[in-house]
């Protein structure tokens, strides 16, 4: 077994390899994969003051900035998923997230006026991309974006690609709950929303595929018994209040699943289902009442614990 654990993209990342054609090549691929994730963190994190995304945000409303291949690709994909989800997925929620983060630190709730003000800045159509120059611009002063809802999925796909190129035939990639499996079946837990991290309420047997979850228990704070979590509804400016505690999507592209799981979590099971069907992936829903249900294609692979 070859493995590595490291911090990046705001989470702890674990990659373990249990089957390969050549041990040395697999070890080198593992190091390359880790470097790749750290590189993406440096370029894409809005918490890194010098990252491409931070420079884009700092230039909002006044200038376009050159961005690298990864950021450009992810900005374009984000706009696509935003349009596809009718705006439920919107990277321009950053202005709102920043507001909620300040209040989370103080243990307070923003006023409706503060929320309304930040909400005016949410519209992914204002992310202007120039293909020829490979530059990006946020059209309005004060706007900002973050790729927190899609970057881990992309990073997981990149780790997978690098490991496979290095002759790896069996691996478990887990970037803070964004999971990708190479090779034979491995069990992936569906986290219980009210129990300690690592305590599952069900599990899925995953072979050569990915599983990505969005849930209200991943990051939140409470004021007077109300939970304020980190996934914002771009229609209201408040943490989303659908019928879901979590949704886990299973399919081939972690990037697609990451974007869609965030969108479906915002939209709720009923409105989210067409997106899931259109993308050809499967889903496990955990509802507010802690009922668990899954799509047809998972029957036989999903087990309630
Ligand atoms: P995820 O855990 O993949 O659902 O992504 C949640 C993260 O994405 C949050 O921590 C925010 O940084 C950002 N975010 C919050 N709400 C949205 C939204 N509606 N669309 C896109 N990104 C969001
Ligand atoms: Mg996501």
C-beta of 215 in contact with ligand 1 (< 6 A): no
Q: What is the pLDDT of residues 45-104, one digit of tens each?
A: 999 999 999 999 999 999 999 999 999 999 999 999 999 999 999 999 999 999 999 999
Answer yes or no: are the C-beta atoms of 264 and 240 closer than 8 Å: no
Answer yes or no: are the C-beta atoms of 152 and 166 closer than 8 Å: no
C-beta of 144 in contact with ligand 1 (< 6 A): no
Residue among 10, 122, 149, 247 whose CB has most ligand 1 atoms within 8 A, to mutate = 149
Residue 231 has which token pair?
Answer: 């996934």
C-beta of 258 in contact with ligand 1 (< 6 A): yes
Residue among 262, 264, 266 whose CB has most ligand 1 atoms within 8 A, to mutate = 262
Is the pLDDT reported for residue 198 higher than 90?
Answer: no
- The side-by-side arrangement of strands in the sheet containing 292-294 is 2-8, 11-20, 168-175, 178-182, 209-215, 244-251, 282-287, 292-294
Which ligand lies nearest to the CA atom of residue 11 in the structure? 1
For residue 176, how many other CB atoms are within 10 A of its CB? 17
Residue 267 has which token pair?
Answer: 């939209």
Taking each helix axis from N to C end, the angle separating 151-165 and 23-44, rounded to the nearest 10 degrees, works out to 160
Which H helix or E strand runs over 136? Answer: strand 135-138
Q: What distance in angstroms lies between residue 107's CA and the mean position of ligand 1's atoms? A: 20
Q: Which atom of ligand 1 is nearest to the CA of 261?
A: 4
C-beta of 89 in contact with ligand 1 (< 6 A): yes
Q: What is the pLDDT of residues 2-55, one digit of tens each?
A: 999 999 999 999 999 999 999 999 999 999 999 999 999 999 999 999 999 999
Answer yes or no: are the C-beta atoms of 150 and 77 closer than 8 Å: yes
pLDDT of residue 139: 98
- Could you tell me if residue 20 is left (phi over 0), alpha (psi between -120 and 50 degrees) or otherwise beta? beta
Which ligand lies nearest to the CA atom of residue 148 in the structure? 1
Answer yes or no: are the C-beta atoms of 17 and 26 closer than 8 Å: yes
Q: Which atom of ligand 1 is nearest to the CA of 46?
A: 12
C-beta of 230 in contact with ligand 1 (< 6 A): yes
Q: Which atom of ligand 1 is nearest to the CA of 89?
A: 20
C-beta of 216 in contact with ligand 1 (< 6 A): no
Q: What is the mean pLDDT of residues 192-203?
A: 93
Confidence of residue 300 (pLDDT cuts 50, 70, 90): confident
Q: What is the mean pLDDT of residues 266-271?
A: 97
Q: What is the mean pLDDT of residues 155-168?
A: 98
Task: Compute and round to an integer the Cα radius of gyration of the chain.
Answer: 19
């Amino acid at each position: 077994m070859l493995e590595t654990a490291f911090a990046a993209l705001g989470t702890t990342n674990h990659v373990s390899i249990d089957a390969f054609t050549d041990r040395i090549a697999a070890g080198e691929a593992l190091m390359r994969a880790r470097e790749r994730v750290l590189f993406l963190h440096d370029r894409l994190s809005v918490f890194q003051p010098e990252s491409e995304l931070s420079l884009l945000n700092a230039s909002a409303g006044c200038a376009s900035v050159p961005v690298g291949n990864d950021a450009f690709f992810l900005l374009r994909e984000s706009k696509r998923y935003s349009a596809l989800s009718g705006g439920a997925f919107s990277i321009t929620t950053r202005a709102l997230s920043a507001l909620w983060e300040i209040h989370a630190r103080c243990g307070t709730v923003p006023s409706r006026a503060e929320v309304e003000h930040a909400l005016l800045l949410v519209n992914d159509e204002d992310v202007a991309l120039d293909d020829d120059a490979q530059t990006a611009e946020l059209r309005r002063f004060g706007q900002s974006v973050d790729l927190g809802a899609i970057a881990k999925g992309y990073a997981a796909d990149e780790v997978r690609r690098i490991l496979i190129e290095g002759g790896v035939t069996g691996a478990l990639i887990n970037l803070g709950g964004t999971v990708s499996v190479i090779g034979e079946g491995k069990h992936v837990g569906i986290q219980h929303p009210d129990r300690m991290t690592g305590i599952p309420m069900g599990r899925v047997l995953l072979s050569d595929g990915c599983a990505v979850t969005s849930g209200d228990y991943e990051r939140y704070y409470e004021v007077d018994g109300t939970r304020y979590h980190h996934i914002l509804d771009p229609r209201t400016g408040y943490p989303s209040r659908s019928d879901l505690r979590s949704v886990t999507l299973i399919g081939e592209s972690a990037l697609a699943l990451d974007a869609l799981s965030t969108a479906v979590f915002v939209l709720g099971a009923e409105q989210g289902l067409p997106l899931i069907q259109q993308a050809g992936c499967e889903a496990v829903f955990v509802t507010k009442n802690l009922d668990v249900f899954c799509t047809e294609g998972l029957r036989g692979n999903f087990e309630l614990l």
